[in-house]
Amino acid sequence: MLADFYKPGELPISFELYPPKTDKGLRSLMLQVEHLMKHKPAFITCTYGAGGSTRGKTLEIVEKVKTIFQVPVAAHLTVVASTIADLRSFLAEAERRGVDYIVALRGDPPQGETKFKPNPKGLRYANELVDLIKDEFNEFGVLVAGYPEKHREAPDEKTDIENLKRKVDAGADVVVSQLYFRNSDFYAWREKCEKAGITVPIVPGIFPINSLAQISKIAKLCGAGIPKKLYEKLNEKPEDAEWHKAVGTAYASQQVNDLVDNGVPGFHFYVLNQAEATGKILTALNEHRTKKKDDSPVKAR
């Protein structure tokens, strides 16, 4: 089972990819995955474009990754613009291609639209999608998204956590957080989730920053706040991509080291099809864990 990865004493990692637009991009992606595999991920996921624009490509990629690298894979699935028949068709095809898990999401409105509009023959919420999967395709493990800084459409945090609990009660196996940059936000949110009765693993989603312009755009879309000191550090060299990568990697390493010291069950990395930064973060994490183990007092027998 999917949740079995997150047993006490384990620290599974997973990586999220997105479908490249060209054959050259796909070849590059496979090289990046080859590098990522050195870190022995528990599984690899792949998202798709707004409104399901690259949904078929997602299945091609996860099938290819599983075939080449012999690692479990998860395909993202949203209800946006889909009928229930469309969703069943995708799930049946995912099953045929050997997909192991589904990341079940409501999804964002298509580009150019500001409000989510369900398909009249589709579903409205992610918990309904989890219900469909567990009722008709229960061989899939299911991951769902959680929001340490609240989903931008939720009226308040309490409502947002109630929505998350509905997804878990429908059968979700694991919660993966949206990207965030303040661990204090994650810890406070995790505590509230646990008090609400959410008992499945709650996994932090880590975003290694590659560029100031990129993260500014993504953070705005996701409703994630960038700490003032981090933004100012990045903005010391606003056009220097290498500087942004170095600052972002160092910051994420500090995040991850602190999180592992505070008992997270694993990590999910939004790698943006690039292996270098995540590799450095995981190397630093291994060094941190080794040092912490070496510094632990030896108990008398």
Residues that are catalytic: 16
Q: What is the DSSP letter of 209?
A: -
User: Which amino acid would we find at residue 272?
Assistant: L
| Cα gap 295→273, rounded to integer Å | 35
| Cα gap 83→122, rounded to integer Å | 4
Buried b (16+ CB within 10 A) or exposed e, 167-196: bbebbbbbbbbbbbbbbebbbebbebbeee
Phi, psi (deg, nearest 5) at residue 202:
-110, 110
Strands lying side by side in the sheet with 205-206: 202-203, 174-177, 141-146, 101-105, 73-78, 43-46, 13-17, 267-270, 205-206
